[in-house]
């Protein structure tokens, strides 16, 4: 019985992580829309997007390292989210420097994050 409670607690951490990534995705899609429609991206939106993604990543990595080997889907999702985070840091540095954000990097960052999110959801439902 105690094992089931522990499994639910970890499942809850992954669920909360997925919720934060979902919020980050909503912010990311909003920023992509603004960028590709020629509008300025507000710094608070970029900070909120990054904060939501960072919280999701911390929770996901906490689960991965606290539980140990938990399956290929979560390992792949974690690795891809770290890669997406690095791309996000580069994009944010462009934004802070007042330089135009590279369209290719935006699309790569978003695509990697979406794939990582789908893998996380697949791990949650499997």
Write the pLDDT tens digit of every residue in 61-78. Answer: 998 888 765 789 999 999
For the chain, what percentages of helix, strand and coil (3-state, to nearest 5) are there? 85, 0, 15
Q: What is the mean pLDDT of residues 35-58?
A: 97
The per-residue pLDDT for 11 is 59
Distance CA 75, CA 82 (A): 11
pTM for the structure as a whole: 0.87
Q: How confident is the model at residue 5 (pLDDT cuts 50, 70, 90)?
A: very low
The per-residue pLDDT for 12 is 78
pLDDT at 55 over 80: yes
The per-residue pLDDT for 15 is 92
DSSP reduced 3-state for 119:
helix
> Burial level of 2, CB count in 10 A (0-12/13-18/19+)?
exposed
CA-nearest of 25, 14, 51 to 113 is 25
Q: What is the mean pLDDT of residues 27-41?
A: 96
């Amino acid at each position: 019985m105690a094992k089931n409670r522990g499994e639910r607690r970890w499942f809850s951490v992954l669920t909360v992580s997925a919720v934060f990534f979902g919020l980050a995705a909503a912010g990311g899609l909003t920023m992509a829309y603004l960028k590709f429609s020629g509008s300025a991206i507000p710094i608070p939106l970029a900070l909120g997007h990054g904060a939501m993604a960072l919280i999701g990543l911390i929770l996901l990595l906490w689960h991965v390292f606290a539980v140990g080997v938990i399956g290929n889907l979560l390992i792949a999702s974690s690795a891809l989210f770290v890669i997406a985070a690095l791309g996000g840091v580069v994009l944010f540095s462009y934004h802070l420097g007042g330089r135009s954000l590279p369209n290719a990097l935006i699309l790569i960052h978003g695509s990697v994050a979406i794939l990582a999110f789908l893998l996380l959801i697949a791990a949650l439902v499997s």
